[in-house]
Structure 1
Amino acid sequence: MTMSTRSKMTNSKNNDMISSLPDCLLFFILSSFPFKEAARTCLLSKRWLAMWRSSNVKNTQLQFPAAAAAAGEGSTFFVNFITNWIIEHKNLIEEKFSLTVSPPPNCGDVIGICVDFAISNTAVKDLELDFHKPQWNYDENENENENHDVMVELPKSFYNQINLQLKLESLKLYSCRFDPVDFANFHALTDLTLGWIPLNIQTLKTVLWICKSSLRSLTLKRCWDLQHLRLGEETERLTRLVIEKCRFKIDYWCFEAPNLEYFKFCGNVGISHIRVQLGKIEEADLDFGALSEFFAYGFAMCRVLEDFRPARVLTVCSVFLQLFPASRDGKPLHFHGGLAVRHLTVKTQLHRQELYGFMFLLTKCYVLEKLTIHLDKSCNVLSGYRAPDGVNLDMFWEKTKHPGCMKRLLKVVEIKGFMGTREQLNACHYFIKFGRVLKKLTITVLNEENENPAIVELRRNVALHLLDVPRTSKDLVIKIS
């Protein structure tokens, strides 16, 4: 096709192939869009505007960005737009509704309208109300004692809506004041997330006790004012528990969870007494990555590991490897027995300070079948680290003993984010040479967005040299991508 011919075809009537589709297909396309993207289509033409007004947009997400709050006209436009949208869609039937207003401008009325719209829906099962400010996101430099003003108090109508009480299954509240006693009305609630709120232990226990018969999943995200996490029978029926960067006055977690299947903790190191059940607990994810300085937390790490001995899938962070299992006097701590872990994931950069904890953990995974190494150059390397007495990190790979799982069961090793450092190469050599039953070694080279292609190619070439390393397992297949 010549350039002139293509130009004539493009300019003839400026045909819009999408708009030429029948209404049934356009409705299908529109209904698959997120709310914000679907709303933009009403500017295309009167036809698109009519379809937008009459479409049944599922999983609605109303978002008010921070930039709009700074402009008076933007705030007014948002209020008018949302009000008109709700009027047009008052009979909308959907199962999921999400309202995000951050930071909240002076639009309490429209927030109330949105909440009323969400809870009046006869089919909504998943409700998310998010009023936190992005700058509240916690990191290690944030003032630990700084509290935030909770932005919105839920209206009484929220607790009294019959349809919501009978059908709501998942509820996420971020920076919302609520009355824990009124949760007794939510008979179908199985999944509860609370974030960016002050939450004392008694309030938490009240919520858990009231919802005990139905609640199965609990997530606490960046809450503060928690004295500790000592709970009783309230947690017996939970199958999923996530605690993400909450602030405890005392880092102490004690509860019984015989039905717990998934546990994730992200925060400071503390003492734990958590009872889970062999055959029930499937996965534990332990992240203490906010710590930047080495302390004698080896005993605490052993206690946490002991609690989750029955987990079949275990994920640990770089800090865990550096702290475990070192004692205050430099002597290695003892961890008797083994773990039930079949799939171990370590988030690490294979820094020399992580090596002893990494290998010690492997020796305790007697039945390990799969190992995933997430190489992350942003992992914290703790200052003041002290290796256990008698451990020579310079000769670590040459002197280390081979874990039992390397001889019997470890069949798959995944290495993600390969950068070609000395320790990463040493680790690859180790698994290739001594993995007696290893069947698959997958190495994914780090390829970040906008990275120099020449650097990526250099990493790949370094990895390709591993294909020439002598293999102990005749069945081993090495894949590099």
Structure 2
Amino acid sequence: MDRNIDMISNLPSSLLIIIAGFLSFKEAARTSVLSKQWLNIWRDAMHIQFNENFFVKSDEPEENQKVQREVFINFARQFIANYPPQDIKTLGLTCSKPGDFLADMQNIVMFASSRNVRELGLDFSDPTWREHALENHQAAFELPLLVYEHGQALKSMKLFSCSFDVSNFSNFCALKTLSLGWIKINMGSILAILESCPLLESLSLKKCWDIVSFEISKPGSRLKSLVIEECDIADDFVLIEGPKLQFFKFSGNVGEFLLDDQSDLVKAELDFETETAFDEIGLFLCDLLEDLFAAQVLTVCSVFLQIVPSGNEPLGLQAQIDVRYLILKTALHINEFCGIRFMLRSCPHLEILTIDIGPANIFPEYGAPYPFNPQEFWSEDLLVEECVTTTLKAVNVKGFKGMMNELNVLKYLLLFGHAIEELTLYVSNEAGSNGETREFYMERALQVLEFNKASRNLSIAVL
């Protein structure tokens, strides 16, 4: 048989449409250049993404962007006009300046609803809005009435800078995933949504405001995933009572957290990099950790590492947690040393440790919870954590540059890590402040191969 024969293109169009359905909308469109048979296959795609970022270049002048946005809108108009009479599964619409094209935005959304769309994503937020500033921006678009009328088919919905009528959410009886962002919403509306959507399993809130305190007390709720990201919560108070979460993510300021009976929790992510205070909030983080006791995978940030030891137990939690995979987003600054040790002592069953090195919010007024010498902190004279000697099997270092603190931490882990089987160093691609290159970092990584090792089964990879 001739190996140059294109067997796929010889398939009937009905099968090619199914194959294209496994591709992203952009990738499916690219198949049009393969052959005449593929020319229009992508136009029958049931996963549609109208994303202005494919057309509008953010680094070009505003006048050029206006022309590019017009091309984007014309593309969407023609696609809808020529789409076959069939249902669609997914429609995503991203447009940062919809004001001049509101009629087109309405038509696109109404097209999706009339075709019984299962997953609807509308993002009208502007990338020029500051990600880490709590600024309120008026919603750029209002959800059309037709979406509610056809809402029984929706299983997933994303609304960014898109206002809506909470009283009509009862029509979304099949909704399982909801993501809201860049909108004004109070706690009463959030609770009304949970009441109206009994099948809701995942709720995500990003850059929302007008929330005094976040309180969900709903026994029997199916909610399994909760994300609260950079929301303006006036009282810095979060209460979760009733839902049995499997995933919890919070980013914002440190406050009081009460997460009642989260024994089903699998994964948690905590990011407090926008926090500006330091004193008297360590106890809040210790209490939060204890509420997250069941989490198997835990991600914490640099601010967390600097603050958490200032709680009642600076050397570790009294009630140890069951984390098996710990991810530290850190600069490996001396301000974080006590927090890293705190976490290692609080996770006696830890099996995988990832040290993700990058920029961090380092507090200039930091005060250590106990005196220590930074040069000797990771020396062999210190008490070694239980997880390091008995359970830790894999260590990953991302953004490795071979700085002194990085090397000292690795010396410590390898010297006492009797059970470690894998060490993987992902060398940084960033240029150093003194002109260091990736090749320079690679040379430092090779030094790690010469460190004393407690484990006989250790494999080291440098990538």
Q: Pick the TM interval, shorter chain.
A: 0.7 to 0.9
Distance 2:67 2:296 in 1: 55
Cross-structure match for 1:299 = 283
Residues 1:454 and 1:297: Cα distance change in structure 2 (over 3 Å): closer
Secondary structure of the equivalent of 1:205? helix
Return the match for 2:149 from 148, 156, 160: 160
1:55 corresponds to which of 43, 65, 69: 43
Which protein has the larger Cα radius of gyration, Structure 1 or Structure 2?
A: 1
Equivalent residue number for residue 127 of structure 1: 120
Aligned counterpart, 1:324:
308
Q: Which residue of 2 aligns with 1:462?
A: 444
Which residue in the other structure is 1:83 paired with? 77
Matched residue type, 2:300: V
| SS of 2:179 mapped into structure 1 | strand
Determine helix, strand or coil for the equivalent of 1:433: helix
Deviation for aligned residue 1:102: 1.1
What secondary structure, in the 3-state scheme, does the structure 2 residue paired with 1:136 have?
coil
Would the aligned equivalents of 2:399 and 2:427 in 1 still touch at CA under 8 Å? yes
Aligned residue pair count: 449
- The alignment-based identity, stated in percent, is 35
1:337 aligns with 2:319: yes
Matched, 1:313 2:313: no
CA spacing shift, 1:366–1:46, aligned 2, 3 Å: closer
**What's the counterpart of residue 103 of structure 2?**
109
CA contact (8 A) 2:290 2:319 kept: no
The match for 2:233 among 235, 248, 251 is: 248
Q: CA deviation at 1:463?
A: 1.6
Question: Does 2:415 align with 1:433?
Answer: yes
Higher helix share: 1
Q: RMSD in angstroms over aligned alpha carbons?
A: 3.2
More deviation, 458-467/346-355? 458-467
- Are the equivalent residues in 1 in contact too, given 2:431–2:438 (CA < 8 A)? no
How far apart are residue 195 of structure 1 and its match? 0.6
1:36 and 1:111 map into 2 onto residues whose CA distance is: 20
1:294–1:383 Cα contact (<8 Å) kept: no
Residue 474 of structure 1, CA deviation: 1.8
Instruction: State the match for 2:193 in structure 1.
Output: 207
Deviations 1:226-265 (A, max 9, x none): 1110121178321111111111111100111452111111
Mark the CA change 1:93 to 1:450 in structure 2 (over 3 Å): closer, same or farther: farther
TM-score, normalising length from structure 2? 0.88
> 1: CA distance between counterparts of 2:406 and 2:122?
44
How many angstroms does 1:395 deviate by? 2.2
* Corresponding residue of 1:6: none
TM norm structure 1: 0.85
| SS across alignment from 1:389 | coil
Unaligned 5+ residue runs, structure 1? 1-16
1:405-416 to 2 correspondences below 5 Å: 405-416=387-398
Structure 2: distance between partners of 1:130 and 1:314: 29
SS at match of 1:346: strand
Residue 84 of structure 1 and its aligned partner are, at CA, apart by 2.8
CA contact (8 A) 1:407 1:437 kept: yes
Q: CA deviation at 1:291?
A: 2.5
Where does residue 272 of structure 2 map in the other structure? 288
Gaps of at least 5 residues in structure 2 are: none
Contact residue 327 and residue 333 of structure 1 kept, 8 A? no
